[in-house]
Structure 1
Amino acid sequence: MKTTYIKLSLSAVLLLGIYSCKKGESAVSSTERADYTVADSAAVTTSDSVSSAATMKVKDKQFIKTADVNMEVKDVYEATISIEKTVQDLGGFVTNSNLHSNVISEDTYNTSSENAMLVKKYQTENTMQVRVPTEKLGELLTLINDKKLFLNSRTINAEDVTANIKYAEMESKRIKKTGENIGQLKANKDKVKLDNDNMAEGNLQQLANMDTTDNIKYSTIDIFIKEPKLRIAEIAITNTRNIDNKYKFNFIYDAKNAFVEGFYLIQKIAVGLITIWPLILILGAIFYFLRKRKFTKPESAKIPEQ
């Protein structure tokens, strides 16, 4: 009886140990799954985020932001239309769009006596420059990224121009003060020149300020897109070789033209002879004189016969 009790006690202890291990493994698995979920979520968030340079804001700092994107897309024309529409929807505008196709090869194949097929192998690309409100730069880059097949490169620059703005303000004050000092001078030629030079400097400073303000408000993005593989265009055309052979020679027409040209040639020769009639008259007179002189030689000049 005692032995049976001991066996039952050992069995109970073993069962409790196994249950505890299973429970611990289940807790560990649940914790690991939670950790993996958090990690995956963080990875998705990181991949979907835009560079901090595009959305960066620092208190008491002013930035001029620019970006350069080079990528491959499925269809350059469709991507171009989509990007231009997106830029417009974001309150921006396109400053340049140069879409063109580079023809790699061009061959003509005759398919019949009248028809032929022109086969072109080409690659389409586009170089664009767009400008959008700076606060929309990150959004635009995200939308452009959705069009890519492969991203070759993307560069984002944020230039700190806070010091430049402060310096421009000081320069504006200096130019204004200089103008007040010039106004106190006596009127003469030197004063007019000084005032003119100061106004010109003030205008240039205002232009620089306007340019800086515009560049801060609107970001400039240079975009280069191309298709990764060659495209083939098949264009139905006329068999020009057969047409050339058909009209290359026409005997009746060419014979008629030759007869007319010969008649015109005779007329040109006659007109030419009439033009040089003095020369012909002189040559005729010389020939007549020499011929007459030959027949009037004295008999004594002749060699006697033996």
Structure 2
Amino acid sequence: MKTTYIKLSLSAVLLLGIYSCKKGEVATIERADPYITDSTVAVSDSVSSAASMTVKDKQFIKTADVNMEVKDVYEATISIEKTVQDLGGFVTHSNLHSNVISEDTYNTSGDEAMMIKKYQSENAMQVRVPTEKLGELLTLINDKKLFLNFRNINAEDVTSNIRYAEMEEKRIKKTSENIDQLKANKDKVKLDNDNMTEGNLQQLANMDTADNIKYSTVDIYIKEPKLRIAEIAVTNTRNIDHKYKFNFIYDAKNAFVEGFYLIQKIAVGLITVWPLILILGIILYFLRKRKPTQPAHTKTHEQ
């Protein structure tokens, strides 16, 4: 029992010593730069540890996904693009656009008006940077945020894939040597062609893997938290419409000409249907001729 108590006491002393050392190290950091807060140090350490992780004899394909709100999407986009370029990377996709929520026009004078647009800007970007610069890029992007919705960092271990690709290259090479020993015929040509195709596909996969290991892909989505308002000076279209809506002299002249054309069209129409008019006239003539006339004495009696 006494021995156990002594061991526990020694363990407690060691833990207190380690804690004191750690506390002294933190205090040293804070004295070195009093403007660095605990949260800033934590964010920086988190980014560097997740994005800059290296393991001996391991190969990783690293990707990241950042979704955050910024004060000005256009300004943040320009800054991120410049940062990526400075780090030796490049932008593969950038879709900056504004979603118009409402649009109203208010007349301010007889000739002028003001268009009021309420909109929200956003941008979906994809950039690629050297893998060793991924942590630095994420730290610089983090400085532009007003609010971070989420950030995902993924490191895919492709060491086994690389080893398998090397074995596949050896197999394809061995297959090629075996095909060369065959007699020349149609089957040999087909086997050689299929083996070359497989070898080309394997080389393409190897190049893609090497490129993805060298450059990390980062998807970035940024937007503004509140609506923005744009005031655009435009022409008072309603007044312009009233100005040219009606011209009496011009419209009267056109009406006179159109009336003359209408008379011509009616005359031409009557000429076109002259056979019908002739037949109708003949029918009326015979109807009147066949109508019986009343005797004269009947009229006198009625009077």
TM over 0.5: same fold? yes
Alignment partner of 1:137 is 2:129: no
- Give the distance between the partners of 1:140 and 1:39, measured in 2 at CA: 23
Pick aligned residue for 1:294 from 286, 290, 295: 290
Residue of structure 1 in register with 2:61 after alignment = 64
* CA apart distance, 1:159: 0.5
Distance 1:217 1:258, change over 3 A: same
Matches within 5 A, 1:46-125: 46-49=42-45, 50-125=47-122
Decide whether the 8 Å contact of 2:48 with 2:136 is kept in 1.
Answer: no
Question: Which residue of structure 1 lines up, in the alignment, with residue 8 of structure 2?
Answer: none
Indicate which of 218, 221, 234 corresponds to 2:218.
221
Q: How many pairs were matched up? A: 270
What is the alpha-carbon distance in structure 2 between the residues aligned to residue 279 and residue 200 of structure 1? 84
Tell me which residue corresponds to 1:200: 197
Following superposition, the deviation at residue 249 of structure 1 comes to: 2.0
Letter matched to residue 191 of structure 1: K
Q: Could you tell which deviates more after superposition, 125-134 or 104-113?
A: 104-113
Give the deviation of 1:221 after TM superposition. Answer: 0.4
Q: Which moved more, 1:278-287 or 1:43-52?
A: 278-287
Aligned residue number for residue 125 of structure 2: 128
Greater Rg by CA: 1
Q: Deviations over 1:17-63 (max 9, x none)?
A: xxxxxxxxxxxxxx9x9687247469354343324121111111110
Q: Against the structure 1 CA distance between its residues 277 and 199, is the aligned structure 2 distance closer, same or farther, given a 3 Å change threshold?
A: farther
Equivalents in 2 of 1:257, 1:174: separation in Å? 89
Cα distance, 1:269 vs structure 2: 2.6
1:276-287 equivalences in 2 (<5 Å): 276-284=273-281, 286-287=283-284
- Secondary structure of 2:88's counterpart equals coil
1:185 aligns with 2:185: no
- SS of the aligned residue for 1:246 comes to helix
Alignment-mate amino acid for residue 216 of structure 1: I
Distance 1:282 1:195 in 2: 93
Question: Where does residue 37 of structure 1 map in the other structure?
Answer: 27
> How far has the Cα of 1:172 moved from its partner?
1.6
Q: Point out where structure 1 has 5 or more consecutive residues left out of the alignment.
A: 1-30
In structure 2, C-alpha distance between the alignment counterparts of 1:200 and 1:98, rounded to whole Å: 37
Structure 1 residues 166, 257: closer, same or farther in 2, change over 3 A?
A: same
- SS of alignment partner, residue 270 of structure 1: helix
Change (3 A) 1:198 1:279: farther
* Map of 1:4 onto structure 2: none
**Quick check: 1:238 aligned with 2:235?**
yes
User: Structure 2 stretches of 5 or more lacking a match?
Assistant: 1-20, 32-36
Task: Report the 3-state secondary structure (helix = DSSP H, G, I; strand = E; otherwise coil) of the residue aligned with 1:163.
Answer: helix
